């Protein structure tokens, strides 16, 4: 919206709730309008688990915009807290319905929105579809149902891009780092409190969320019946910095402004890769942490002479994600 686009955004809660501030469409719309750069802000109450509501959303967009749609960002998700509650438990001990609980408002809704958006974009001969995915598409994260869903999102990107490229429509996935949302702040505050209560010193303050999530993955917050005696040493984690919730929005804007964006179609990108390609920073001026950068890793760990290593020296992401679970030194610790 700050870049001048008319933005339709959806959610299930229309009006403010006293016990959950800043989590309604009205409140978000007011915040967006205070900063908008000329674009219209249109909040739409929609439950993406109900196909009919999704269909009506796109009918409205088509009617109000002369059958035009330039950008679709698939970001709806409803099960993060549920995922964290189930993390660390063997998948066979969980209800089989967990896959639908996690992925109906997620992978399934992404596919449905992509279908309706593509009909408009194909007719006009151009468009950009951005699927907000996760590094969990490639390496074990939380629980199998989560990773399968994210892998499905990236497959949605590659396969739809194959059919849409000749029609001028670009499809990409974006993998954000942990994002500074209200919910993440709650998790960080809870974890900080536990660390203080236990007398354990935090090795890194900014990337606390990674350590919190690793605590979950490694079973430290599970019930006794599901403990697997998996210990966590916070000092061994690669400290990945949290990015603001607006960094991924900047990624979308720069992609949409790129006349050659079709060259990127069909692939998944870290937010730091897109920021590097287009030369922008997060809104606070920080440079997104590049998990593939040898220099960034050396800086975070305080390794001497890191300035001698060129910033372009990066490990391939597939190599990093393939071997780090066996090293036990990153946030993506495999289930044991």
Where in the sequence numbering do the catalytic residues fall? 146
For 219, list phi and psi in degrees, rounded to 5.
90, 5
- Helix locations, 87-132, DSSP H: 98-103, 109-124
Residue 56 near residue 76 (C-beta atoms within 8 A)? no
Distances (CA, A) of 251 to 163, 192, 261, 270, 277: 23, 31, 12, 10, 10
Residue 78 near residue 106 (C-beta atoms within 8 A)? yes
Residue 120 near residue 8 (C-beta atoms within 8 A)? no
Alpha carbons 303 and 307: distance in angstroms, whole number:
10
Helix 271-278 to helix 247-257 angle (10° resolution) is 50
Structure tokens at 92: 């066979």
Alpha carbons 226 and 89: distance in angstroms, whole number:
6
Residues in the chain: 336
Coil, helix or strand at residue 9:
strand
Residue 44 near residue 79 (C-beta atoms within 8 A)? no
Which residues on neighbouring strands pair with residue 3, listed in sequence order?
none
């Amino acid at each position: 919206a700050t870049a001048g686009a008319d933005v339709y955004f959806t959610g299930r809660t229309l009006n403010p709730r006293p016990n959950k501030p800043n989590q309604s469409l009205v409140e978000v719309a007011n915040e967006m309008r205070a900063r908008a750069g000329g674009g219209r802000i249109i909040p739409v109450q929609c439950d993406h688990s109900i196909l009919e509501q999704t269909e009506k959303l796109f009918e409205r967009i088509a009617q109000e915009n002369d059958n035009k749609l330039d950008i679709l960002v698939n970001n709806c998700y409803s099960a993060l807290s549920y995922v964290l509650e189930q993390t660390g438990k063997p998948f066979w001990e969980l209800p089989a319905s967990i896959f639908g609980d996690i992925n109906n408002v997620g992978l399934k809704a992404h596919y449905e929105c992509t279908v309706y958006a593509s009909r408009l974009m194909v007719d006009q001969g151009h468009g950009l579809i951005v699927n907000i995915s996760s590094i969990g598409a490639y390496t074990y994260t939380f629980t199998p149902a989560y990773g399968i869903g994210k892998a499905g999102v990236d497959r949605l990107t590659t396969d739809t891009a194959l059919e849409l490229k000749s029609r001028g429509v670009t499809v990409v996935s974006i993998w954000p780092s942990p994002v500074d949302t209200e919910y993440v702040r709650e998790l960080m505050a809870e974890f900080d409190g536990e660390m203080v209560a236990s007398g354990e010193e935090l090795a890194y303050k900014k990337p606390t969320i990674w350590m919190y999530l690793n605590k979950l993955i490694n079973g430290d917050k599970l019930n006794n019946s599901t403990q697997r005696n998996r210990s966590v040493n916070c000092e061994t984690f690669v400290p990945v910095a949290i990015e603001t919730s607006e960094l991924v929005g900047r990624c979308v804007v720069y992609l949409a402004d790129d006349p050659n964006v079709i060259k990127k179609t069909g692939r998944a990108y870290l937010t730091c890769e897109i920021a590097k390609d287009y030369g922008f920073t997060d809104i606070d001026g920080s440079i997104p942490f590049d998990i593939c950068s040898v220099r960034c890793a050396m800086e975070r760990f305080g390794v001497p002479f890191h300035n001698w290593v060129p910033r372009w020296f990066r490990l391939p992401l597939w190599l990093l994600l393939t071997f780090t679970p066996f090293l036990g030194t990153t946030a993506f610790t495999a289930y044991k």
